[in-house]
Structure 1
Amino acid sequence: RRWLRQLHDEIHVTSVFVTHDQEEALEVSDRVVVINKGKVEQIGTPESVYDHPATPFVANFLGSVNLFHGRVENGHLHVGDDALALGSTDGSDGKAVAFVRPHEFDLVPGWEARGGLPARIVRIVSVGPSAQIELTHHDGELIEVTIGREAFRLLGLSEGDQVSLRPRHIRVFPSEAQAA
């Protein structure tokens, strides 16, 4: 990948590189075209398509995500009995599907109803620089969280502990977009 990127920069020629490897596409390219069943879903820089996916397909295709089904009302995503503030919204209330990447959560020890989802830690894999944490929401849904290993150690959490999951970034789409 490094060699290919370097060659591309040295010869200053436009090229088309086709791959099914999302990481490779994001690392090597200046612009990415995400295609689903022959239809262009999104065109943009690697950063823009990863950080601001235009469709649920792009959000799910480019990297690991946690999926939540809920309802948007008054600037909040309601997942069961829990509500998450969305910040700015386009004003569209109704059924929605939301995506949160594993590294976009903060873990707060204990269950706090405000601003987070209550969850229980079921598995911790703390090897290398990151801790991979599997949790379950009260509805039984599995949620994956990734945080720095040292930050996780400082929280003093263990398997079985209750936490409040606070997403730092939520990508929300109307439920109809998921079906499309």
Structure 2
Amino acid sequence: MDLSIRNVRKQFDGFAALNDVSLNIASGELIALLGPSGSGKTTLLRLVAGLDQPTDGQILFGGEDASLKSVQERNIGFVFQSYALFRHMTVLDNIGFGLSVRRGTSKVPTAEIRRRSLELLDLVQLSGLEKRYPHQLSGGQRQRVALARALAIEPTVLLLDEPFGALDAKVRRELRSWLREIHDRTGHTTVFVTHDQEEALELADRVVVMSQGQIEQIGTPDDIYDRPTSPFVFSFIGESSDLPVRIEDGQIWFEDRPIGIPAGKVPDGPATLHFRPHDIELLHGCGGCLAGTVVSSRRMAGARRIELSVGAGHLSAEIEVPADHPSVAKGRVAFRPTRWRLFSADPNMPPAADAGARVGDNRVALALTGT
């Protein structure tokens, strides 16, 4: 089932939780709605489910307007962060609940409910636990039961609201891989809400980044991480630093000097340079580069993360260096980004980005491309 969201707006007591949101989701696609708290992602999920109604706009299921359909008529599978399992029911009864309450021509025979529930129990790798109750399961097991219950009704669309939010980091990683495998096997159109960037990038076919009730960017995980189209997306996805710069004669200047990076098509004037801690090269002194005083240094697995105080304004920037780098407190480190995004103060100008770099000395050759 394909899903189309057209110019949807949702107003709560004068506050616009969603403002002119449009999104097309192909049948069988796994989409992540990613954003900070208050960005509108859960509101959008509830509108798709039919738990709320849009103030304006349309939500189409397979080309058919769903606005007049109830939650039951939309046949939505919904998985909540809190599991929402019935404590007095066994695992098997929880899974089959959505089928057991059907009436009339859609009524499902008891034997068929049991057969389908046992089949799903095997799919979510919980065979043999059908007689247990929710309190006898771990958090990860309960979430698997919740997913099996959502799948039991053979939903047109599967919705997951922060499905792993209540679990510890190790279990979350295990279930992410498992959920992707389940999705590939069942082929349901799936939309899940998360504020976890790693989760969205690992699981989704496409990521929808939201902020303040609007969509900032839609793209594949590679597009979102490598080619962000706004300062918000660059700052929100992954770790990054940004520095105020100015463009002059096609070069990027920081304070009183050029830093050896061409500006591409960005016009002269103020801009912001964004880069990630690992996308830098270390330099042994330079006439045109960035340099800062070490404020702090901490070990991060196989590398070391250094916070620098850069420039006369003592701006903060983080870079990643080898674990054995001889950085010391109050020492000076010179560096230059090898991959970056440059955003002009003019909102009508597209960002400029590097297309590659040769790292190893002070002569870095870079080809620029607009986005």
TM-score interval, normalised by the smaller of the two chains: 0.7 to 0.9
Residue matched to 1:29:
204
Match of 1:11 among 169, 178, 186: 186
Relative to structure 1, is the Cα distance of residues 166 and 75 closer, same or farther in structure 2, using a 3 angstrom cutoff?
same
Please, which runs of 5 or more residues in structure 2 have no aligned partner? 1-175, 348-371
Please tell me whether the aligned partners of residues 241 and 318 of structure 2 are also in contact (alpha carbons under 8 angstroms). Answer: yes
Shift of 1:6: 1.5
In structure 2, distance between residues paired with 1:138 and 1:95: 16
In structure 2, distance between residues paired with 1:92 and 1:124: 36
Please tell me whether the aligned partners of residues 290 and 310 of structure 2 are also in contact (alpha carbons under 8 angstroms). Answer: yes
Residue matched to 1:126:
299
Aligned sequence identity (%): 36
In structure 1, distance between residues paired with 2:299 and 2:215: 38
Shift of 1:85: 3.5
Residue matched to 2:344:
174
Equivalenced residue count is 171
Residue matched to 1:117:
290
Shift of 1:156: 3.0
Q: Which has the higher strand share?
A: 1
Q: Which runs of 4+ in 1 moved over 6 A?
A: none
Relative to structure 1, is the Cα distance of residues 19 and 97 closer, same or farther in structure 2, using a 3 angstrom cutoff?
same
Please, which runs of 5 or more residues in structure 1 have no aligned partner? none
Shift of 1:68: 0.8
Of the structure 1 ranges 122-131 and 34-43, higher mean CA displacement relative to structure 2 is found in 122-131
Does 2:250 correspond to 1:75? yes
Please tell me whether the aligned partners of residues 75 and 87 of structure 1 are also in contact (alpha carbons under 8 angstroms). Answer: yes
In structure 2, distance between residues paired with 1:73 and 1:172: 13
SS in 2 for 1:160: coil
Question: Aligned partner of 1:98: which letter?
Answer: L
In structure 1, distance between residues paired with 2:262 and 2:338: 10
In structure 2, distance between residues paired with 1:56 and 1:127: 25
RMSD: 1.8
SS in 2 for 1:102: coil
Match of 1:84 among 256, 259, 267: 259
Q: TM-score, normalised by structure 1?
A: 0.86
Please tell me whether the aligned partners of residues 86 and 170 of structure 1 are also in contact (alpha carbons under 8 angstroms). Answer: no
Shift of 1:131: 0.4
Does 2:165 correspond to 1:165? no
Shift of 1:142: 1.5
Please tell me whether the aligned partners of residues 82 and 117 of structure 1 are also in contact (alpha carbons under 8 angstroms). Answer: no
Match of 2:234 among 30, 46, 59: 59
SS in 1 for 2:189: coil
Please tell me whether the aligned partners of residues 255 and 311 of structure 2 are also in contact (alpha carbons under 8 angstroms). Answer: no
Please tell me whether the aligned partners of residues 266 and 344 of structure 2 are also in contact (alpha carbons under 8 angstroms). Answer: no
Match of 2:321 among 143, 147, 160: 147
Residue matched to 1:104:
279
